[in-house]
Amino acid sequence: MYEEFYGLKERPFRMVPSPNCLYLSNNHQRALTYLQYGVMEDVGFILLTGEIGTGKTTLIRHILNELESDIQAGVIFNTNISSTELLRLILQSFSLPLPEGGKAQTLDELHKFLIQNHAEGKQTVLVIDEAQNLSLEALEEVRMLSNFQNQDQSLLQIMLVGQPELRAKLKDPRFSSLTQRIAVSYHLSALTTEEARDYIAFRLKNAGGKSKLFELEAIDMICQVSGGVPRTINLLCDAALVYGFGYELKSIPAPVIEQVIKDKGGMGLELQEDQRGTAPVVELEQAGEVTEPENRNGLLRRLEALEVNFHKLNMQTEWQVEELERRSEGFKADLVANLKKLLDEERQKYNKLLMKYTLLRYSHKKLREQIDGNGKDVSETAEDPQQAGSSTGNIPVRLRAVLQRHRLLISAWGRSTQSTTGENPTFGSTKEPRER
């Protein structure tokens, strides 16, 4: 409708998830990196959660489009089903025929398919979107699928994608064996204000339009009302472009956004009000006394919204605490490894110093014996005592100089060893250094 008027190749804010329109914020880039690592390394279970409209499905489709030829993927989007229906959907996702019979025949067909893929060197990945809707029975069936293994390698890699309620389900003690197999886990949050501005500009530019089609005040209003959720941003921006086209506006000002919000009557924006949590409180303060039944119903709805918001914040806080504890364990292990490395280096230095010190002491001992032996021989062979005394003082002069130099070296090595080990080896001591 408005594409030609604004010089666009296509609608920039379509509601259908498209991997071609993937905007990688810092948060989305980290999520993409973790998911790619999990798939490429075949780590087992992968968990991705996020609020409604934060871009989980778009991210998954982007990853599936980039899979290599030796990776075969199946995707399930309808999850409000029984465990038996889930198994049949899994077969359909891999384009497998549905066998006649019950659950046993379905599992056997799936197992044969996984064995064949493994024999051909292919990796099999199952993506379950909207996994928070899985019943406890179906979730238990997913856990059982992880038992398809060949010796020490899993035959089926499973990626669970859903809203934060999925994490609450997985905390059930019955699924402890499943959660222990989750190797990669990430929670996708909404965009920041700066990221939301860049997201709008990215979408417009990707569609061939001008990145500054929306005025700054209009963008700030969109960021505030949407709460940084990409789907809500798309909803507001698309409607604003329709209004702008109707009014023949070359750019979209803030009053157009106000009109869009007013005309929608809050439809599609309830989630963002719940996330913010402050808007319902302000409305209650301005309402004054609540006497009419309609106002009472509105009060109850707002209280329920606050309870839902509190529940979500509580789950997010618990998840962040778990994530910090997991990271602290990693930092502790790195610190211990570095300390061990430094200790090994210091021990090597000490051993070298100790070896040099021992050699110097041995050399010093030999020099002293040589000096004492030369002096004694001269005294015995001299004809005149005065000549003997003179010879004793003159013959070992060079040896005494060498001895003095060795004294200085031993003293220096002793000080170095003391600074390294805390010990103080004494010159001329007959006590040998302790072995370390």
**Digit-coded pLDDT (tens) for 276-330:** 333 333 232 333 333 344 445 556 666 666 666 665 566 656 666 766 776 677 6
Mention the CATH class of domain 192-276.
Answer: mainly alpha
What local confidence, expressed as pLDDT, does residue 291 receive?
38
Buried b (16+ CB within 10 A) or exposed e, 276-286: eeebbeeebee
C-beta separation of 74 from 93 below 8 A: yes
- Locate the domains of the chain by residue range: 26-188, 192-276
Helices 216-226 & 193-206, crossing angle to 10 degrees?
120
End-to-end Cα distance, the chain: 84
10 Å CB burial of residue 123 (0-12, 13-18, 19+) is buried
- Phi then psi for residue 183, to 5 deg, are -90, -30
Which helix (H) or strand (E) segment holds residue 114: the answer is helix 103-119
- Both tokens assigned to 364: 């010093």
Residue found under tokens 């279970």: 45
The closest of 238, 243, 274 to 256, measured between CA atoms, is: 243
3-class DSSP state for residue 426?
coil
Q: Cα-atom radius of gyration of the chain, to the nearest Å?
A: 39
- The set of residues, in sequence order, having a beta carbon less than 8 Å from that of 13 and lying 6+ positions away, is 203, 233, 234, 235, 237, 238, 241
- The set of residues, in sequence order, having a beta carbon less than 8 Å from that of 150 and lying 6+ positions away, is 115, 118
The closest of 185, 263, 278, 262 to 227, measured between CA atoms, is: 278
Q: What is the pTM of this model?
A: 0.60
Digit-coded pLDDT (tens) for 105-161: 999 999 999 999 999 989 999 999 999 999 888 988 998 888 888 777 788 999 999
3-class DSSP state for residue 221?
helix
- Both tokens assigned to 163: 């809203």
Bridge pairing between strands 149-150 and 153-154? antiparallel
Side-chain half-sphere exposure of 21, counting CA atoms within 13 A: 25
CATH superfamily assigned to domain 26-188: P-loop containing nucleotide triphosphate hydrolases (3.40.50.300)
Dist. CA 32–CA 180, nearest whole Å: 22
CA distances from 424 to 61, 231, 337, 413, 436 (A): 69, 73, 30, 10, 15
C-beta separation of 226 from 219 below 8 A: no
From first to last of the 436 residues of the chain, give the pLDDT tens digit: 788 899 999 999 988 888 888 899 989 999 999 998 888 887 878 999 999 989 999 999 998 888 888 889 999 988 888 888 999 999 999 999 888 878 889 999 999 999 999 999 899 999 999 999 998 889 889 988 888 887 777 889 999 999 999 988 888 888 888 888 888 899 999 999 999 999 999 999 998 888 889 999 999 999 989 989 999 999 999 999 999 998 889 999 999 999 998 887 765 564 444 443 333 332 323 333 333 444 455 566 666 666 666 655 666 566 667 667 766 776 777 788 888 888 888 888 888 888 888 888 888 788 877 777 766 554 555 445 444 444 444 445 666 666 677 677 667 666 655 555 555 554 444 444 444 3
- Phi then psi for residue 71, to 5 deg, are -120, 120
The closest of 176, 187, 150, 186 to 51, measured between CA atoms, is: 187
- Both tokens assigned to 291: 């006497």
- Phi then psi for residue 268, to 5 deg, are 85, -5
Amino acid at 342: L
C-beta separation of 72 from 125 below 8 A: yes
Sign of CA dihedral 92, 97, 103, 108: negative
